[in-house]
């Protein structure tokens, strides 16, 4: 996999969305602040200021939201102000993102292949698939609108809400790409480590429990190719050093992107709350205000919220699952070697145990060094958020119904 090409293309995409100021240089294999990045971010910021200002002018769209549902209008205002704070916060944390990107490039040290392979294609799917899905929804909505531009007021209001959101989503894509590149590096290390250990084993070792079979019946031609004890210790020490370096890079990237990931989760939660609330009220009453094409546009926009958020985290969980799968395979190989009857020196066994510790304890994906990032934790958190959203929507709906009933009773009393 040509990891330089993957990082370069991904970097160009994240520059356009405003997540990065740093450009990737293939010669130095590092990220540096570039004039192109500064110019793009300045232009994006000016456009964002114009869109943000539209929310405080006489916007017909926002007036409709305020008249129809003050609660929905307040959600829009909360999302807008949170986006502004995040945009300002990210200006001061661009350097941290640059260090995180250099940490990701530090994961990849092997000579890359120029040939396009399946692993590289999968990396692009992880990064760009959400954007491609959003384009599909955009094309469908444009079709329903007969490919006519909506009023400029609607465009500015929408971009004012989602420019910070799009930029912040780059943190999730960068984290996902880091997991995939780390998985590829571990896969290469696993091949070398397994081959080296197999040369040292002289009996057939079968591990049914871990699903690994290491057959090491040495033929007459390679029976004398055993690695001397000193060389074995040196190679194991090099593998241990590399695993520790990877663990340090992972910790650097996780520390740099933890706040961005948390803020993105907060913005996603607000979008989910707004989407569920709008769906409930649209099905009960708001659909009467719109024509059939606009009803379909609403449903497409509403579904897009859930699909895009779900797909982003699905890509993250997929890359983490594949990474953990390779890590478990390496741990199983090391465990088989430790438990084998091969005559490893005491120092070599100690190095193997250190490698096992580095993989199992140090090389972990966490946020704020507290929560491990995996499918179970993400599902549990989103279930909690779903319950909270359901309670808020039910409470708001019942409150509006009670207010409506009181208004009808007051009207009946006044008529009498």
The reported pLDDT for the residue numbered 302 is 94
Asked, for residue 124, whether it belongs to a domain, the answer is: yes
**Count of structural domains within the chain:** 1
Q: Where in the sequence is the domain holding 212, given as residue range(s)?
A: 3-407
The reported pLDDT for the residue numbered 220 is 36
Quote the pTM value: 0.87
Asked, for residue 114, whether it belongs to a domain, the answer is: yes
The total number of residues shown for the chain amounts to 416
The reported pLDDT for the residue numbered 91 is 86
Asked, for residue 400, whether it belongs to a domain, the answer is: yes
Asked, for residue 73, whether it belongs to a domain, the answer is: yes
| 72-75 long-range contacts, CB within 8 A, separation 24+ | 72/274, 72/277, 72/278, 72/281, 75/270, 75/273, 75/274, 75/277
Which residues, in sequence order, are CB contacts of 61 under 8 Å at separation 6+? 151, 153, 154, 157
**Contact present, 360 and 345 (Cβ < 8 Å):** no
Of the candidates 253, 13, 261, the residue with the CA atom closest to the CA atom of residue 124? 13
Of the candidates 275, 270, 372, the residue with the CA atom closest to the CA atom of residue 317? 372
SS3 for 115-149 is CCCHHHHHHHHHHHHHHHHHHHHHHHHHHHCCCCC
d(CA 194, CA 212): 11
Reading the block at residue 395, the tokens are 């409470």
The reported pLDDT for the residue numbered 211 is 45
Model confidence over 43-95: pLDDT tens digits? 999 999 999 999 988 888 888 888 888 999 999 999 999 999 999 998 888 88
Asked, for residue 414, whether it belongs to a domain, the answer is: no
Of the candidates 106, 333, 351, 345, the residue with the CA atom closest to the CA atom of residue 235? 351
Asked, for residue 109, whether it belongs to a domain, the answer is: yes
The reported pLDDT for the residue numbered 416 is 57
**Contact present, 271 and 79 (Cβ < 8 Å):** yes
Asked, for residue 128, whether it belongs to a domain, the answer is: yes
Q: Low-confidence residues of the chain, pLDDT below 70?
A: 106-114, 200-230, 341-344, 412-416
Asked, for residue 136, whether it belongs to a domain, the answer is: yes
**Contact present, 243 and 360 (Cβ < 8 Å):** no
The reported pLDDT for the residue numbered 209 is 42
The reported pLDDT for the residue numbered 278 is 93
């Amino acid at each position: 996999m040509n990891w330089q090409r993957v990082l370069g293309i991904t970097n160009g995409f994240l520059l356009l969305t405003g997540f990065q100021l740093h450009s990737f240089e293939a010669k130095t294999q590092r990220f540096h602040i570039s004039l192109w990045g500064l110019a793009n971010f300045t232009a994006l910021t000016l456009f964002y200021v114009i869109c943000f200002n539209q929310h405080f002018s006489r916007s017909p769209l926002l007036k409709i939201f305020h008249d129809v549902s003050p609660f929905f209008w307040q959600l829009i205002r909360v999302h807008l102000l949170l986006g502004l704070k995040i945009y300002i916060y990210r200006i001061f944390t661009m350097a941290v993102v640059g260090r995180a990107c250099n940490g990701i490039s530090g994961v990849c040290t092997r000579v890359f292949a120029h040939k396009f392979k399946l692993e590289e294609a999968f990396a692009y799917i992880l990064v760009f698939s959400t954007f491609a899905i959003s384009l599909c929804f955009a094309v469908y909505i444009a079709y329903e609108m007969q490919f006519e531009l909506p009023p400029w007021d609607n465009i500015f209001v929408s971009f004012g809400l989602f420019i910070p959101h799009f930029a912040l989503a780059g943190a999730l894509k960068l984290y996902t790409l880091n997991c995939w590149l780390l998985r590829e590096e571990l896969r290469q290390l696993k091949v070398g480590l397994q081959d080296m250990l197999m040369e040292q084993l002289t009996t057939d070792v079968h591990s049914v429990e871990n699903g690994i079979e290491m057959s090491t019946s040495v033929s007459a031609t390679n029976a004398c190719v055993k690695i001397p004890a000193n060389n074995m210790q040196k190679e194991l020490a090099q593998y241990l050093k590399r695993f520790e370096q990877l663990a340090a890079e992972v910790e650097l990237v996780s520390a740099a992107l933890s706040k961005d990931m948390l803020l993105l989760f907060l913005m996603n939660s607000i979008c989910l709350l707004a989407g569920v609330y709008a769906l409930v009220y649209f099905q009960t009453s708001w659909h009467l205000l719109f024509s059939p094409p606009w009803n379909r546009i609403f449903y497409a926009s509403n579904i897009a919220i859930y699909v895009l958020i779900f797909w982003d985290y699905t890509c993250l969980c997929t890359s983490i699952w594949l990474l953990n799968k390779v890590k478990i395979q390496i741990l199983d190989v090391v465990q088989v070697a430790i438990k084998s009857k091969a005559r490893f020196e005491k120092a070599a066994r100690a190095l193997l145990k250190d490698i096992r510790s580095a993989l199992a304890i140090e090389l972990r994906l966490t946020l704020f060094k507290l929560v491990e990032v995996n499918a179970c934790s993400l599902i549990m958190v989103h279930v909690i958020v779903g319950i909270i959203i359901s309670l808020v929507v039910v409470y708001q709906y019942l409150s509006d119904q009670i207010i409506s009933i009181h208004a009808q009773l007051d009207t009946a009393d006044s008529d009498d």
